[in-house]
Amino acid sequence: MVREHLEEFAFLSLIRHRSLFAPDFSCRQLARLDQRLAAHWDGLAEGWPMSLSVAREKIVAPADHWETYGALRVWFELGDATPGALAEGLAGLEAEALWPWREALCRCPQPIVRVLLPDHLLDHPDPSVQSTALFALGWHGLLPAAGADQWRRHADPLVRTCLARVAAWCGWPVETTTPLLADLDADEDRLVARAARWSAALLDPVAVADRCRQELAAEGADPFTITILGLIGTPADIDLLLASAARPGLADPALQALGDLGSPRAVTPLLAWLEDPEHGARTAAALEAILGAQAGPILEAGEAALRQEMWQQLHPRFADAARFYHGLSWQGQEDPQGDPPVLHWRRSLYEAGQPAGGVKKEIPDPWFTLAADGAPTPGR
């Protein structure tokens, strides 16, 4: 029974992660999923100490990242984890193996994290230990600002990347965070620079969107700049993104960004891109991101003229708002609890001009593809 609880807890945690980016998964469904997770967690707590024994097996011989995550949660919250044992488990791990540890520590209650990650781990000689402590403490708002300059200049890019990634959540004064992210944005390591740019976008989306526009206009932008503009830009950016799509190597991220932007004004030029054999699939995905299921008949039409005619007939349904997400109006009066989590976040972002403080950690996050050129793959 304990093994089943742990396996189901791990599986539902994976589903929850993917559901944050799913167009057909609402906030209300997410809440019900959280209730199911809580029920399996209660089962693991009831099964102690057998739960701890099973968790240790999963940690020693990991087979699945999400099972490792679940096992670590049990060890951290129901077991006998200590700072020394945690550091020993982290030491020497490859970067790919670190994220279950980071995720587990981020989901742990803050008092437990404070005990497991004393400040001396922030100076640990092993980058795997130091970066994980930095990331988790930053997520919980427990990272001391006094060490920011030291970590910014760290020789290992993993440490600098984690600092860049959590800077938006640390609650540091703007006088500290703004120049720090500016320095990290100019880092020679691409992953560090991209993490810094996304963190800056969470803190000041208007300023970062302006910077992305300037770089795209200068034709020297990182493809990740296009991805960010698609997430935090405005319908006025359509022409700039279309121009970027015509440049070598930028078509895929630009087409993805047009879908993320959600403006019906982009549908007509996107229909023309469907004729491109190299980028037709990405274009179809962008149209579905705007129109939802109503894109299906258009995409199935065999002739370009017929597609344009079908869109003209469908257009009045998309004339009541400037932006849509899978057929749902961004500024509509839909029940927020019935919205997909990603749409709920975007609406909050644009209404407030800043990320909503209570949900800014539950956001569509291109972090998982920062190292790759092009747009993020939701739910990866």
pTM summary value: 0.88
CB-based contact 6:70 (threshold 8 Å): yes
Buried b (16+ CB within 10 A) or exposed e, 240-262: bbbebbeeeebbbbbbbbbbbbb
State pLDDT tens for residues 314-330.
999 998 888 999 998 88
Instruction: Give me the pLDDT at residue 334, please.
Output: 72
Give CA–CA dist 231/214, Å, rounded: 16
Structure-token match 């984690």, residue found:
162
Determine the residue type at 8.
E
What contacts 24+ positions apart, CB below 8 Å, involve 264-267? 264/290, 264/315, 264/318, 264/319, 264/322, 264/324, 265/235, 265/238, 266/235, 266/238, 266/241, 266/242, 266/290, 267/291, 267/311, 267/315, 267/318
Is residue 310 left, alpha or beta, with left meaning phi > 0 and alpha meaning psi from -120 to 50? alpha
Give CA–CA dist 283/242, Å, rounded: 12
Q: Which residues of the chain have pLDDT under 50?
A: 355-359, 367-380
Instruction: Give me the pLDDT at residue 376, please.
Output: 37
State pLDDT tens for residues 214-254.
999 987 778 999 999 998 899 999 999 999 999 988 999 99
